[in-house]
Amino acid sequence: MTINPTPASATPEGGHLLELRDLHVEFRTNEGVARVINGVSYHLDAGETLAVLGESGSGKSVTAQAIMGILDTPPAFVRSGQILYQGQDLLTRSEEQRRQVRGKEIAMIFQDALSALNPVFPVGWQIGETLRQRAGMSRGDARRRAVELMDLVKIPGAAKRIGDYPHQFSGGMRQRVMIAMALALDPKVLIADEPTTALDVTVQAQIMDLLADLRRELNMAMILITHDLGVVAGVADRIAVMYAGRIVEHADVRSLYKAPAHPYTKGLLESIPRLDVRGQELSTIKGLPPNLMRIPSGCPFHPRCPYVQQVCVDEVPHDLVLGDGRTSACHFAQEVRDDSVAR
């Protein structure tokens, strides 16, 4: 079977455009097995932006690569779970069928555009390659379309710069080239894996604005992977917070910022420097993220958590539904949220 390339209406009634169900991924290395993703579930509907937030090693990029089917196997193995795209499980598809989905249905942009672009080919060639190889365009057509795409992502003098190599561009312009390449086949889902991490602060804002504008114009759905809470606020509709390969909190942006219901999210929000509160020491989350080969018992966050009780050591918390589609994987979700409101 093939994946139907018509818009979101093809999604079965009541289903989501993209849905992850209880995904488990592990890395089998010589030192042992690292459980990188431990039961991640989230969904994405047409035209919305989901931010996936978490520190390095929390599994947010691995989840994205599992969706794309570009994990390096070995060492990475998808142990169980489902990745439903338009109602069909990608994990049961053949490699060839998954390849057809890449770029055309779900496209991805990466963190460091300098290393993510091939250093020895001109950028126009690299954008055009997708069009030639995937859409069967002629050399000339692909070139013309590549210029259009570079115009779309607002690269000044696109027609003149099409023959330039990646190293001849600034960081921001390089990331725009990446975005142009990802948009070549009009994907319905764009996964942006820390698209602004390698950039200057001013350029970061420009790229985020560009992504938000393009998402609206092209009516895509977007998964924005980031560790930067500041980046998320203006762009995302919903946020999924990841810790040790799990989604610990899931909420719409507004209510999450107003009253986080997981101690980890709360800690993250409190560690953002604020311009309106002066003279206070910046709070941090104590300790380090867990070693994924030895994830702590019970709630993986318990060694660092200020709310920790015996139950946290003994029992893995289930997603607690808090209403308005909010969930929090914390035994004391209510208390944490009420604390946050009171503050």
Q: What's the CA dihedral at 212, 269, 295, 225 to 10 degrees?
A: 10
The values of phi and psi at residue 30, to 5°, are -65, -30
Our finding on whether 110 is near other proteins (CB under 8 A) is yes
User: Among residues 3, 20, 117, 222, which is the contact residue for other proteins, using CB under 8 A?
Assistant: 117
- Nearer Cβ to other proteins (135/316): 135
The values of phi and psi at residue 206, to 5°, are -60, -45
Rounded to a whole number of angstroms, the minimum distance from the CB of residue 87 to other proteins is 21
What is the rounded CA–CA span in Å between residue 240 and residue 51? 6
Write out the binding residues for other proteins, residues 183-212 only, by CB under 8 A: 185
Contact between residue 194 and residue 225 where contact means Cβ atoms under 8 Å apart = yes
- Edge-to-edge strand order for the sheet containing 189-193? 106-109, 189-193, 221-226, 49-53, 238-243, 246-252, 326-328, 320-323
Our finding on whether 121 is near other proteins (CB under 8 A) is yes
Our finding on whether 329 is near other proteins (CB under 8 A) is no
What crossing angle do the helices spanning 171-183 and 139-152 adopt, rounded to 10°? 120
Write out the binding residues for other proteins, residues 126-155 only, by CB under 8 A: 129-130, 133-134
Applying CB under 8 A, the span of 12-20, 117-125, 235-243, 291-299 interacting with other proteins comes to 117-125
Our finding on whether 4 is near other proteins (CB under 8 A) is no
- Nearer Cβ to other proteins (93/250): 93
- Nearer Cβ to other proteins (42/110): 110
Our finding on whether 275 is near other proteins (CB under 8 A) is no
Q: Which two tokens mark 104?
A: 């055309």
Contact between residue 190 and residue 132 where contact means Cβ atoms under 8 Å apart = no
- Nearer Cβ to other proteins (27/307): 27
Our finding on whether 224 is near other proteins (CB under 8 A) is no
- Nearer Cβ to other proteins (79/99): 99
- Nearer Cβ to other proteins (182/312): 182
- Locate the DSSP E strands across the chain: 18-29, 32-44, 49-53, 76-85, 88-89, 106-109, 189-193, 221-226, 238-243, 246-252, 320-323, 326-328
What is the rounded CA–CA span in Å between residue 245 and residue 329? 12
Our finding on whether 91 is near other proteins (CB under 8 A) is no
Q: What is the DSSP string of 136-180?
A: ---HHHHHHHHHHHHHHTT-TTHHHHTT--GGGS-HHHHHHHHHH
Our finding on whether 107 is near other proteins (CB under 8 A) is yes
- Nearer Cβ to other proteins (187/317): 187
Applying CB under 8 A, the span of 95-103, 153-161, 229-237, 316-324 interacting with other proteins comes to 95-103
**What are the beta bridge partners of residue 220?**
none
Cα 326 versus chain centre, distance: 19
- Nearer Cβ to other proteins (155/177): 177
Rounded to a whole number of angstroms, the minimum distance from the CB of residue 120 to other proteins is 6
Write out the binding residues for other proteins, residues 39-68 only, by CB under 8 A: 65, 68
Interaction site with other proteins (CB under 8 A): 65, 68, 70, 72, 99-104, 107-108, 110, 112, 115-121, 129-130, 133-134, 165, 167, 178, 181-182, 185
